[in-house]
Structure 1
Amino acid sequence: MGWSLFRRSRIAPGLPVPGRCGPRRHALATERLLLFTPRTRLDVAAAIAASADAQAQGWLGTKADEVLPDPAVRRALLAWRPAGEDGRRIPRELAEPFTPGPDDPLLLVCVRRSDLGYAGALELQHLAGEMGGWLAPGCRGQGLGAELFRAGLELAHTHLGLATVRAGAETGNTASRRALARAGLVPDQGPRRHTLPDGRVVDAVWHRHDTATPAHCGDHQESPRRRPVTRSGSGHRTS
């Protein structure tokens, strides 16, 4: 993907530059997406809004108190641009800085490089080596899922030093399964049943990707605490 070829001015002034990572903060890019660790509460809220519609929740099963139920609020959040890149002043409560917790899964919000609109998010359970992701309603059906998951592999293999990364999906979620395959993941063994956060139990299939040359970016803080792989189910957050 060649992050080093990008210059700040080619993306947007003020946004993270792919390949320049800091403590618990990462940035990378695909052909059409820019992904980075959320810097503000707006970034986090937009990531949640991208996965809160009925179609996405049919696959994700997020707990009711963790979803934005109002469609108007979701649309409003997704209409913003990160860090006020469209010139609008971000409300104070959304402009507050966001600092990832040391035990939280790695969350990268993604925006379209064409217009900087929020496009979805990537989530990586770095201790378990499992990834998942989702796209906003207006970004589905365009092949962006494969780009999102390829970025997840890049994050795992060349930023965090993980030799293996896994992802799960519901059996009937053909869009996610197709995107995982196009990203280069292959079928893997795993639990055939998975319990979603809202308590629903679904049929599951698993995928994996390996590299013989894992590497680290400038941030080494996640990898030393890695534990043996467990099936946390984070990979099911795909849509």
Structure 2
Amino acid sequence: MEATMFRSKSFLNRGIAALPLCLLLGAGAGAQSRVDMRGVDPSQCDVYLAIGRALPPECQSAAPSTGVTTRGLGLDIEEGGAPGTAAGVAPPAGGTHTPPDVKEGVFTLQFALNSSVLTPQARAVLDKVAVVMNDPASAGAKFVVKGFTDASGSGETNMQLSMARARAARDYLVTVRGVAAASITAEGYGETQLLSGIGPNSPWHRRVEILADFRG
């Protein structure tokens, strides 16, 4: 099973692992953007910028703060290094812009080691994700919640754990936050899609990606 690969600080309690939540929106042709916010405690506008079909008026006056990848979480990575630098795109002056058809936002959830139970921090991030999903601008989007693990433990166990985490996130969005059940499904990938450039047991592999296609 997964091994603890970093020390917890700030509001991360001992024994709680950080699990990146990668929101990978869409695939194929069309305008694309990426915002990497692993390790960041995102604001609602941060989430809109990363995955929203369009920014609400309250988020159009200034660019959300996405430039610090470890703001708020206090992670002390022992192996694999820190996540990539955040890259946000501010809306143009005047508050109008054409949102990309494909967007990718990378966030962080927390799960206890070898657990699929959502922590309060994980639920707080999903609450903000749900606001974007439930926005009228997201009508017609199809979402897939994909769970992943690091390479420690058996392949079968990791596959089961990744599916359990994906279902936990999906079920919370549907049953607690009211995202339409028909618009969101869950898939588990275990250790089969490790991130490049970091060790195979790095905590950053333990993540959930939410794919959404706004193209209809």
Q: Mark yes or no: TM-score above 0.5.
A: no
Higher relative contact order (CA 8 A, sep 6+): 2
Answer 1 or 2: which has greater helix percent: 1
TM range (shorter): 0.3 to 0.5
TM-score (norm 1): 0.34
